[in-house]
Structure 1
Amino acid sequence: MDFGLLLMIVGLVVIIVSFFFKDASKQLAQDVEELSMNLYDESNRLAKRVKALEEEIMIGAPMPKTKKKDPLTQATLAAAQQIQQQAANKSVNPIIVNQVLALQKQGMSVADISARSNLSEAEVISVIAQNGGLSS
């Protein structure tokens, strides 16, 4: 027998046998498609749940009250007060002034504010008086 004829017969037998076996790539493609559809469905369900929860939160929570003053205006007024304070009391750093005012709003005593800000009690009283007065 000729070697070429033998290779041709083996090739034909392999081709015929290949028709009887399932194609693994088709099954793999089908599995990937099914998985992608499941992921799509799950993401849609999650999106619907999130939307429902957001609506419940919006219904259950009271609407925030709007302030009459604009935040930008409040910031401008605060900046203007800070500039006035700096001009009046140049020895106190504006950061310390803000700290003193914040501590005073929290209800701390002048002695406690003095200890935290490293200012004398007289300086603390002066800073508070120049920026809105004493409340306690």
Structure 2
Amino acid sequence: MLNPVTDTDGAPFWEYAAQGELRVQACADCGEPRFPPRPCCPHCQSFASEWRLTGGHGRIWSYVVPHPPLLPDYAEQAPYNVVVVELEDAPRIRLVGNLVRHAGDPLNSLDPERIRIGARVHAVFPDGGLPQWVLS
């Protein structure tokens, strides 16, 4: 498993994920959510920000099943999926992750034939780690 590379702007995302929370950065002035996290709001140019708790629900906006695996660390789990999830309560926010059968399952635990654009999913946080997605 790969570990996330954190920076000052994105570190809170991973801290909240370790607590089982899916939060996104938002502008504290205009309220616009943004991801990936960054110091300045692209809408109003404010440097004020806050981290908002999301419901953790979304829909699959896009996906791919890489063949062969793109990263050597994932070779044993191929074929596996990579999904782009549009958040229900922040539709302009799209997060990349993996769709699994149950929290903590391997990346190849879900038959790729079950993945559909528009399918409802929700975030799970196995062992306080990387968020994964499961079908709702």
> What TM-score do you get using the length of structure 2 for normalisation?
0.18
Q: If the length of structure 1 is used for normalisation, what is the TM-score?
A: 0.18
Q: Which has the higher helix share?
A: 1
Bigger Cα Rg: 1
